[in-house]
């Protein structure tokens, strides 16, 4: 089900819901869904594979690695999303429930996860997953 490369969309106030984004883990460069957005479809082991240097606010290395300051799981109802601190699904893991927006998911700095995300994966709702933080 979750196969494919991320698709990119410009953002601002985009809440990452609706047709075209279903199945995606959505991340934004700034808090409060600010600046540019990427919709990550599938499981991705290293965000350095995905350029974001076409965007003004993409710093410092020109990829989506260590950029995310807010996020949203538009996984469509069956899967919780995980953003990992390190590549290859390692380090601190932030678990995001399906289509739930909170102050924390709107600003990762609230729990020390600002500009940290480097890979993403999923787990089925109802299955067990040890998460460093869940929101
Ligand atoms: Ca950021
Ligand atoms: Ca990282």
- CA 102 – CA 106 distance, rounded (Å): 6
The Å distance, Cα 86 to ligand 2 centre, comes to 4
- Measure Cα distances from 37 to 19, 69, 98 in Å: 16, 10, 18
Give the distance (Å) from ligand 2 centre to CA of residue 53: 17
- Domains, in order of start, for the chain: 7-134 (2.60.20.10)
Q: In this structure, how many other beta carbons lie within 10 angstroms of the beta carbon of residue 128?
A: 6
Tens of pLDDT, residue by residue over 26-83, are 999 999 988 888 888 888 999 999 988 777 888 888 999 999 999 999 877 789 999 9
Token couple for 135: 């929101």
Terminal alpha carbon distance of the chain:
23
Distance between Cα 66 and ligand 2 center (Å): 5
Model's pTM, two decimal places?
A: 0.85
Among the bound ligands, the one closest to the CA of 58: 1
């Amino acid at each position: 089900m979750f196969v494919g490369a991320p698709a990119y969309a410009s953002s601002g106030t985009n809440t990452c819901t609706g047709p075209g984004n279903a199945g995606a883990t959505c991340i934004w460069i700034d808090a409060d869904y600010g600046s540019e957005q990427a919709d990550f479809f599938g499981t991705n082991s290293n965000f350095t594979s995905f350029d974001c240097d076409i965007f003004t606010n993409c710093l410092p290395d020109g990829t989506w690695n260590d950029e995310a300051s807010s996020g949203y799981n538009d996984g469509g109802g069956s899967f919780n999303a995980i953003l990992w601190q390190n590549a290859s699904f390692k380090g601190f893991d932030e678990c995001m429930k399906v289509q739930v927006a909170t102050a924390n998911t709107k600003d990762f700095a609230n729990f020390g996860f600002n500009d940290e995300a480097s890979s993403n994966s999923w787990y089925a709702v109802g299955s067990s997953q040890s998460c460093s933080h869940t929101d």
